[in-house]
Structure 1
Amino acid sequence: MKKRFSGLLAFLLVLALFAQSAIPVSATETAENYEVIELETNRTLLSLTETRTVEVMADFGDNVELSQLEFLFGGKSLSDWKKWSGGTSYNGDPFITVIEEPHFVNGTTTIKATLEFGLLYGRDNLSNRTIRTQYQQFIGDYELALVDTASNKKATQTVELNVYDQFHFYEELKPTIDQVFDEAEVANDRYLEYQSFGKSVEGRDLHFVVLAKDKEAVDKYLNETLPTALEDPDSLLEKLEDGEMGDYQVPVWINNIHPDEVEGVDAQVELFKKFALEDEITFNTIENKQEKEVTLNVDDVLDDVIFLYMFTNNPDGRVANTRANANGFDLNRDNHYQTQIETKEVTQEIAKWTPLSFLDMHGYVPGFLIEPTTPPHNPNFEYDLLYGNMIEQAHAMGEAGISNSAYDSYEIP
Structure 2
Amino acid sequence: MTDATIIGGPSLPQERKLVTAIPGPKSQELLARKNAAVASGVGVALPVFTVAAGGGVLVDVDGNSLIDLGSGIAVTGVGNSAPKVVEAVKAQVERFTHTCFTVTPYDGYVEVAEKLNELTPGDHDKRSALFNSGAEAVENAIKIARHFTKRNAVVVFDHAYHGRTNLTMGMTAKNMPYKDGFGPFAPEVYRAPASYPYRDGLTGAEAAAQAILQIEKQVGAANTAAVIIEPIQGEGGFIAPAEGFLPAIQEWATANGVVFILDEVQTGFARTGDMFAADHEGVVPDLVTTAKGIAGGMPLSAVTGRTDIMNSAHAGGLGGTYTGNPTAVAAALATIETYQEENLVERAREIGAIIEEFFTELAKSDDRIGDIRGRGAMQAIELVESGSKTPAAALTGAIAKYAGEQGVILLTCGTYGNVIRFLPPLSISDELLREGLQIVADALAAN
Q: Could you say whether these structures have the same fold, taking a TM-score greater than 0.5 normalized by the shorter chain as the test? A: no
Under TM normalisation by the shorter chain, which class is it?
A: under 0.3
After TM superposition, the score normalised by the length of structure 1 is 0.26
- Greater strand fraction, Structure 1 or Structure 2: 1
Q: Greater relative contact order: 1 or 2 (C-alpha under 8 angstroms, separation 6 or more)?
A: 2
